[in-house]
A and B are shown apart, each in its own frame.
Chain A
Amino acid sequence: ILNVEQSPQSLHVQEGDSTNFTCSFPSSNFYALHWYRWETAKSPEALFVMTLNGDEKKKGRISATLNTKEGYSYLYIKGSQPEDSATYLCAPPQGGSEKLVFGKGTKLTVNP
């Protein structure tokens, strides 16, 4: 099974701070990388699907970059707000299938 690592495990920032965290995955046989956002007591929601090396996706204040050669993706949040508090999960598909292998996530807390 794929080894997907996310760091840091948790992060506390102040409202207005910009922040970023990392997802590492095997660089060989890369297919795609999914990012999901999971608020406490809710369900995971899709943020981005990234496929190409050098890809950059943006949704409001959240953006992500992808480096398939070295096997990592960064998620950035500009000017964090309390409503950004959530666990952010990354997930590459398991070798040639549609099964996503989710990392353990980075839990972000934005203090007002």
Chain B
Amino acid sequence: DARVTQTPRDKVTEMGQEVTMRCQPILGHNTVFWYRQTMMQGLELLAYFRNRAPLDDSGMPKDRFSAEMPDATLATLKIQPSEPRDSAVYFCASGDGLAGGPFQETQYFGPGTRLLVL
């Protein structure tokens, strides 16, 4: 049963510390999305990649957030320095491609990383 995996599942850190979240997309999926879940905004897209190339990171605060895909099996989201307002659940999702047609890509979500910045 192929799944998206994320580590760590929970992270508590102090303000100013660097946080790195990791995601392993489903093997064969070539699209990776990073989302943040907050009470106010719901699910908001931070960034996404196709074939490891960043396509859009307009939802991400550029001064402290960065997202990369060092290889096809690993995506990372880094926050440096972290702030209390970054506390949220961060989800990674991988997409099964456009075989079903444009704009019909199904996204498969990982279990999320719950981040608390004190």
Contact = CB atoms under 8 A, between A and B. Distances in A.
A103 B112 contact: no
Contact of B112 (A43, A89, A93, A102): A43
B25 interface: no
Nearest to A96: B103
B10 interface: no
B111 interface: yes
Interface of B: 31, 42-45, 48, 50, 55-56, 91, 93, 95, 98, 100-112
A103 B31 CA distance: 21
A101 B104 CA distance: 13
Given A98-B31, A102-B42, 17 more contacts: A32-B104, A43-B91, A43-B111, A43-B112, A44-B109, A46-B107, A49-B104, A49-B106, A51-B104, A97-B55, A98-B50, A98-B103, A99-B48, A99-B56, A101-B45, A102-B44, A103-B42
